[in-house]
Structure 1
Amino acid sequence: MKVTVQDLIDKIQFNVIYSTPTALKKEVTTSEIMRPGLEMAGYFNYFTPERIQLFGMKEWSYMMDNVENNRYDLLKKVMTDVTPLVIVARSLEIPSEMIAAAKKQDIVILQSREATSRLNSILTTFLDEKLAERISVHGVLMDIFGVGVLLQGMSGIGKSETGLELIKRGHRLVADDRVEIFQRDAFTLSGEPAEILRNMIEIRGVGIIDVMNLFGAGAVRDFTDIDMAIYLENYDNDKEYDRLGNGSDEIILDNVSLPQFRIPVKTGRNVSVIIEAAVMNFRAKQMGYDATKTFEDRLTNLIEKNSEDE
């Protein structure tokens, strides 16, 4: 996924000091941010011009107090033809030499009121998410009780229909049919819809439904972290299903492990209610309460009591 300078301006509040239409279309290719402090002192051995150049109080102070005669020459070396943009934090004054260098190299200059460290964090988080490699999986992604749930199963099992029922019960759709998954950090997966399918769900026999139009803005989300997966499968009389909840399967998506629960589907089973119960039980375990352990403890106590009575 690509991120342009215009995308940054649309997402994060900046004061645009200098820009041109072509400069706004430049792409940001890395989430790494460069603070050119040593470069202002003339040391360019390990300079990375392809990064966003961020001037905080230290860089700005040195540039303004100690670099005067060759300020323009140094800024020309910092602001190269591969530099996507320059940002000055803390609403610091923009020197005329910086604007002149930006005009020469066709580079956008932005000014932010944010403190430098906070702005660095905001930029890195946004770019990490947007530039992360995406994988596409088949399924329905829902926000159920604040838990990101990926519904999967064979084609025709009823994933979208179940998603629609969950929407009617007050939960939120993130993506239907195709879920774009990316690794937000080493332990967290996030998912979002393919742009062409955003806020839409396909129901066989009905067609495409615009969920936001029919159910309101509260029925959809742009993205969510994925906390668990549920696999819907046809009920098999010969298969032994977990009845105590002693454990769940795990699946690996984009090198991140997710708990997976397999729910059998057959006539008469209210799958959406079962999914709600599975999610609430998952949340309870996350908060430290395990109904299975409680049952096993009660069973152990009952066996011990009966043994004593004998």
Structure 2
Amino acid sequence: MSSLRIRDLLERKGDPLQLEPLTGEAGLDRVIPSAEASSPGLVLAGYTQRFAAHRIHILGETEITYLASLDGSGRRRSLETLFDFDIPCVVITKGQEAPAELLGLARAKGIPVIRTKLKTAEFYSRLKPFLDDAFAPHTTVHGSLADVFGVGLLFLGRSGIGKSECVLDLVERGHRLVADDVVHITRRGNDVLIGRGHELSRHYMEIRGVGLIDIQALFGIRAVRQQKRIEVVVQLEDWDAGREYDRTGIEGQETKVLEVALPLVTVPLNPGKNLTVICEVVAMNHLLRYGGVDSAQAFNERLIRRMAEKRQLQEYLEEDYE
């Protein structure tokens, strides 16, 4: 799990979320320990059981109106109940004025108070994807990622085996580069993996003998994309004459990345093999399976039916005594 400071939130999402710190530098280096945000309404009313203090706490119009309905001493007691907890920060929505007692207690405790002009529901909806991404499990792999017919193919294999050259050929055929050499992978939810390139090398490729090339400059904006869901892993390997390779595809292989199972296609390489077309077929075959058509399974069922028909014919002929 990543660590995220309040300062990071302001720097990265300050403009999109229209964030304005009301307590200056106080508490900006506090760590946000959770990807969740919630309202502390019940705590302000005095109910503190099961309070999730580790979340970002948002005061909307309802909470601010409630505080305004209290007299000075009641408002202070209510806010003291909240600030007795070690909360990361408080966010006030809809550009509302912060009660003086809130700002005073926040400064004393070193807890930042931030204001946004966004409505509460809109702020929640914009903040949550950012927090989910910041706290999502992630890893980095050495490989290449391409969008082929809308399918995210992650190419893995030893250095120099031809991953970049394969993706370059795919781009020339109209497909799209996502990342080359270094692929940052983030898990969203339980079963979605999103891959993207490093921000410095994005849209660049290293081709041995040629050097670094800018795919966007060479092929145009249509040849690149910022990120893509990873759906199939293509493992490129040197041909091994002594190894048995899958020739039917009935028993599909799988591999796990960040505990997410992905289809694995192992492609042995030898001179003359048209790797680019094979990768296009891998993508199209995945789309067929996603649509409920499994070519290998259909052929297997057809073969079993034919064998059964021949067996029935053989039994009939054996029992024909005329």
- Note the C-alpha offset of 1:269: 1.5
The CA distance in 2 between the partners of 1:166 and 1:49, in whole Å, is 50
| CA RMSD in angstroms, aligned pairs only | 3.2
Matched, 1:167 2:171: yes
Listed as ranges, the matches of 1:26-41 within 5 Å are: 27-41=31-45
Match of 1:131 among 98, 123, 135: 135
- Note the C-alpha offset of 1:275: 0.8
Look up the match of 1:201: 205
Look up the match of 2:319: none
Listed as ranges, the matches of 1:65-76 within 5 Å are: 65-66=69-70, 68-71=72-75, 74-75=78-79
Look up the match of 1:189: 193
Q: TM-score, normalised by structure 1?
A: 0.83
Q: Which moved more, 1:215-224 or 1:132-141?
A: 215-224
The CA distance in 1 between the partners of 2:71 and 2:145, in whole Å, is 54
The CA distance in 2 between the partners of 1:22 and 1:207, in whole Å, is 48
Q: Which moved more, 1:12-21 or 1:148-157?
A: 12-21
Matched, 1:110 2:143: no
Residues 187-229 of structure 1: CA distance to partner in whole angstroms, max 9, x if unpaired? 2222222333222221111122222333333333332222221
The CA distance in 1 between the partners of 2:283 and 2:47, in whole Å, is 55
Match of 1:93 among 82, 96, 107: 96
Match of 1:291 among 284, 288, 295: 295
Matched, 1:253 2:279: no
Q: Which moved more, 1:57-66 or 1:21-30?
A: 21-30
* Identical residues among aligned pairs (%): 33
Residues 144-178 of structure 1: CA distance to partner in whole angstroms, max 9, x if unpaired? 22222211011211001111112222222222212
The CA distance in 1 between the partners of 2:234 and 2:193, in whole Å, is 15
- Note the C-alpha offset of 1:13: 3.5
CA contact (8 A) 1:5 1:85 kept: no
Number of aligned pairs? 308
CA contact (8 A) 1:251 1:258 kept: yes
> Larger radius of gyration, structure 1 or 2?
2
Unaligned residue ranges in structure 2 (runs of 5+)? 315-322
The CA distance in 2 between the partners of 1:305 and 1:11, in whole Å, is 71
- Residue 87 of structure 1 aligns with an amino acid whose one-letter code is V
Match of 2:284 among 276, 280, 285: 280
The CA distance in 2 between the partners of 1:55 and 1:188, in whole Å, is 32
The CA distance in 1 between the partners of 2:223 and 2:85, in whole Å, is 45
The CA distance in 1 between the partners of 2:28 and 2:150, in whole Å, is 36
Matched, 1:264 2:307: no
Q: TM-score, normalised by structure 2?
A: 0.80
Look up the match of 1:239: 243
Residues 236-289 of structure 1: CA distance to partner in whole angstroms, max 9, x if unpaired? 333332222112222122222222110111222121211111111111111111
Relative to structure 1, the CA distance from residue 24 to residue 273 in structure 2 (aligned partners, 3 Å threshold; closer, same or farther) is: farther
SS across alignment from 1:230: strand
CA contact (8 A) 1:180 1:191 kept: yes
- Residue 191 of structure 1 aligns with an amino acid whose one-letter code is G
